[in-house]
Structure 1
Amino acid sequence: MEEDSSSKGISNIKVPPKYENLKLLSMWEEVRTLGKHPDRRSYHTAVMWQDKMLVYGGQDLSEGPYGDLWSVEIGQFGQESWQQVAIEDKGCISRHSAIVKNDKMYVFGGTNGVEEFNKTLVLSLNTMTWKEYPGQNNLPPPLDSHTSCLYDSDQGPLMIVFGGYSHGERTNQVYILQLDTMKWTKFETSSKQPEIRSSHSASIYNHCLFIFGGISDEGEKLNDFWKLDLKARVWTQIIGNGELPVGRSGHTSVVYKDFLIIFGGMKDITKETNDLHSYHFQSNSWTNFQYEYQVRDPVSPDQLEEYKKNKASLAAMKDKKFSTEPSPNRSPIRRPTFMDSSRGSPARRQTVEGDGTPQYRRRRTLYEGPMSPLEGRIKGKLPHPRDGHSAVINGDIMVVFGGDRHQMPFNDTYVYYLLEENIKSPARLDNS
């Protein structure tokens, strides 16, 4: 892979020399801000409210889950700053779901690393106060790694929940929360359902719920595409034209005009991607409009060498201390991985103390180098391949935050300018 020096502003990207549409890469911009940032995390939630992106919860595999809320203004890039929002502590949470309706954020399910939840939390965004609704007769059951979408139906606003883990087992059930009454019901359908899955994506378009990908019960990365007609209560598998995305999990999907946009995800263990695909609802056609690119790590060779030296020094000190301390029955603490269990919820099994409190190991990553002196927009800067990130739409831009690569979390922010002529044009090779 060679770096194409003819493309200005994207010198940080390794690209094949024959790509014709490198100009599309300039649609990406990294947003760098000064001041305090959210901790690095994945499997959080992000929602838009009044030109602000709100990020809640999430996890770092070595630090554990978080319970904080952060806000960043989206409409004034170049002058943004992150702000931590003061809220009542409702405990740490990740792999939950969230939607916004009017001035309230509705949060459902998730896990704190030990147990799954089926409570619903409602945050008033005007007063920043919580109201908690416990599960009603175990409906829905405790869930994590599911999806939730807002659907403005003829009967009022609904929260549509699909899939995820229920009591450690994947599911394909649909549950509906009536936001006006805060009553849950199980949504019964009269057709064949998608197979059970978790870490998929879900979006609403034209009274239908669209589901793509995820992880099957056998741990397979799925790339099937389904539509649930919310009025007729009928599932239909969609066989679209064009280049269907490969199987993946932990990706995101957003709706822009008449398009579904899919970004990133994990294709295999330690194999994340940063490609972009669109699905045009009207023509039933898929388009791969950005290939996968490998982006250089945000550390210099000198920083990498310093990191290795520090790591070796710390390891030597640890070994020396270990050898001098009499602890014959010491048992090692194992850090959880995304594939910790083929059936249990990924990345949720960590060492637990006698009182039931989850314990996490702290660790350094290569992404803890010095702060960049740059701020504002870095044009042509692509996100690293990742999964467990979030993506939201604000006008004609898609905003991507966080996620992780090889279990190394991010807290970076990117925007992608959505132009219809770009997202419906296939990525091509210049064969001349």
Structure 2
Amino acid sequence: MEPKRHRDQFSFLKINTKLQKNTEHLWEEIRSLGIHPSRRSYHSACVWRDRMLIYGGQNIQDGLQSGLWAFDLDNKNIEIWEEFEIPGLVPLCRHSAIVKGDFMYIFGGTNGEKAFNDTWVIDILNRRVEKITSNPPDFPPPHDSHTATLYENGISSSMIVFGGFVEETRTNKVYTLDLSNFKWKLEDTNNGPEPRSNHAAVLYHNDLYIYGGSSNEGEKLSDFWRLKLDTFIWEIVVPKQRIPAGRSGHSAIVYKDVMVIFGGMKDETQETNEMYSYGFLTNDWTLFQNDHQVKDPVSAAQLEEYKQAHKCHLMSRRHTVNSNLNKKESFSPLTPKPRANTEMDVRTINISLEGRVQGRAPHQRDGHSAVVHEDVMYIFGGDRHQMPFSDLYAYFLIEEELKTPVKIDN
């Protein structure tokens, strides 16, 4: 079955890489010229109205990264980033964020000097942010490097916060925030996972799944847990086959009945770009992309040549696109998304820096983000050896491929 990818709209692309692994043909690097988020890791990412939202993050050299950025995942004709100007939005990293409706809920995080227990609500449509106040006794202490997950059971909606750093030590407590009245509750759970940070959390049906992270001793954990949200009882998940090696700073998404994890740090300075899937119905793990090096197919000289050749064209195109996207009605789900009035003709150009590089997988990394939209997983940012990225990748999800073990050469 062919992935949903609208190939005819990317016919101008000139860069291709040699297929080295059985998954690389499903990757595309999305290259957009113009403004885009700075290099960062340990930011947050959510999906809102067919857009990927990126907020905050850190850069070891430059410090905190600010701004709320949006990338339209549904507009294949114009692939650009837009920064949402929201007065009062404070820069954070290692926080958590979820989206419900037209609101983003942000909890915790750090500025590099201290952690916070603030809860912020961003009105995305109206570009406003408000700090929510709550009272003890169940108000959580300052958190960072935790996870937050949106849970809706048909009656209420809540944000579930698990783990992370609290007062310079890791925790395994579970807090829930009722989004209807903004009341926090410390949930009474049984003995569950050991305290951890930089783990991954996903929701599948009425269960919260936790995989990996770092322990108080700095060990990269590989245990896998399920929290039943109707009873708040923890259960360790024992799969049929061997579980992946421990890691932290990885990402996890759910696609149909499968969880997909990408990247992370397996040891100090040992980032990876391998991918595993876990079948919720079959209770087994599959390694379907092995760890491998990625080389950039475009040289620095080619980059500069292209920039100079298309400088005037890009300035004109950026003005047209930004004028369209700044119209408030473009945010209505009932209004067609804007399209550029001009088309880019690069048939005579040897390389293309704008568009998609087919067969191009991400470098090894941790601290990145991942979201899923329709049948595609998107990976943004992260770092390797403390050198951050600002790149964006699409991976076309096909159930058969997710369950196909990689061939490892002996």
1:129-208 equivalence runs, <5 A: 129-137=128-136, 139-189=139-189, 191-208=190-207
Aligned-pair CA distance for 1:299: 7.6
1:291-330 equivalence runs, <5 A: 291-296=290-295, 300=299
2:367 aligned to which of 377, 383, 388:
388
Gaps of 5+ in 1: 1-7, 16-21, 304-371
Q: 1:220 to 1:134 in 2, by over 3 A?
A: same
CA contact (8 A) 1:243 1:288 kept: no
**Matched residue, 1:347:** none
**Matched residue, 1:424:** 403
| Letter of the 1:419 counterpart | I
CA distance in 1, matches of 2:77, 2:395: 15
Aligned-pair CA distance for 1:76: 2.2
Helix, strand or coil at the partner of 1:242: coil
Aligned-pair CA distance for 1:192: 1.9
**Matched residue, 2:316:** none
Q: Deviations over 1:115-170 (max 9, x none)?
A: 11101000011101011113532711100000000000244001000000011111
CA contact (8 A) 1:100 1:106 kept: yes
Aligned-pair CA distance for 1:241: 1.9
CA contact (8 A) 2:88 2:129 kept: no
1:115-134 equivalence runs, <5 A: 115-134=114-133
1:10 aligned to which of 11, 17, 23:
17
Aligned-pair CA distance for 1:408: 0.3
CA distance in 1, matches of 2:166, 2:231: 26
Kindly indicate which of the two structures has a greater share of residues assigned to strand: 1
Q: 135-144 or 40-49: which moved more?
A: 135-144
CA distance in 1, matches of 2:220, 2:126: 41
CA distance in 2, matches of 1:238, 1:284: 8
**Matched residue, 1:24:** 23
Q: 1:78 to 1:163 in 2, by over 3 A?
A: same
1:409 aligns with 2:364: no
Helix, strand or coil at the partner of 1:295: coil
CA distance in 1, matches of 2:58, 2:276: 27
| Letter of the 1:160 counterpart | I
Aligned-pair CA distance for 1:78: 5.1
| Letter of the 2:188 counterpart | E
1:267 aligns with 2:266: yes
CA distance in 2, matches of 1:383, 1:78: 23
CA contact (8 A) 2:68 2:83 kept: yes
Structure 1 outlier segments of 4+, above 3 Å: 297-303
| Letter of the 1:29 counterpart | E
**Matched residue, 2:323:** none
CA contact (8 A) 1:73 1:80 kept: yes
| Letter of the 1:225 counterpart | F
| Letter of the 1:394 counterpart | H
CA contact (8 A) 2:17 2:297 kept: no
Helix, strand or coil at the partner of 2:400: helix
What is the root-mean-square deviation of aligned Cα atoms in Å?
1.9
| Letter of the 2:96 counterpart | S
| Letter of the 1:295 counterpart | V
CA distance in 2, matches of 1:173, 1:233: 11
CA distance in 2, matches of 1:135, 1:401: 33
**Matched residue, 1:97:** 96
Q: 1:244 to 1:10 in 2, by over 3 A?
A: farther
| Letter of the 2:274 counterpart | D
Q: 1:113 to 1:429 in 2, by over 3 A?
A: closer
**Matched residue, 1:375:** 354
Q: 76-85 or 246-255: which moved more?
A: 76-85
**Matched residue, 2:106:** 107
Q: Deviations over 1:178-222 (max 9, x none)?
A: 001111000111x32100000000001110110000000000000
| Letter of the 2:119 counterpart | T
Aligned-pair CA distance for 1:242: 2.6
**Matched residue, 1:239:** 238
**Matched residue, 1:340:** none
| Letter of the 1:176 counterpart | T
What percent identity do the matched residue pairs reach?
A: 48
**Matched residue, 1:56:** 55
Aligned length: 347
CA contact (8 A) 1:77 1:376 kept: no
| Letter of the 1:182 counterpart | F
Aligned-pair CA distance for 1:430: 7.2
1:26-45 equivalence runs, <5 A: 26-45=25-44
CA contact (8 A) 1:78 1:375 kept: no
| Letter of the 2:149 counterpart | C
CA contact (8 A) 1:192 1:235 kept: yes
**Matched residue, 1:277:** 276
CA contact (8 A) 1:78 1:377 kept: no
Q: Deviations over 1:267-317 (max 9, x none)?
A: 1111100011000001111111111111125785989xxxxxxxxxxxxxx
1:353-364 equivalence runs, <5 A: none
CA contact (8 A) 1:109 1:116 kept: yes
Helix, strand or coil at the partner of 2:274: strand
CA contact (8 A) 2:134 2:182 kept: no
CA contact (8 A) 1:78 1:376 kept: no
CA distance in 1, matches of 2:102, 2:267: 39
CA distance in 1, matches of 2:297, 2:91: 29
**Matched residue, 1:229:** 228
Aligned-pair CA distance for 1:67: 2.4
| Letter of the 1:237 counterpart | I
What TM-score, normalized by structure 1, do the two folds share?
A: 0.77
Q: Deviations over 1:239-262 (max 9, x none)?
A: 112342111000001110000110
Aligned-pair CA distance for 1:9: 3.5
CA distance in 1, matches of 2:155, 2:108: 24
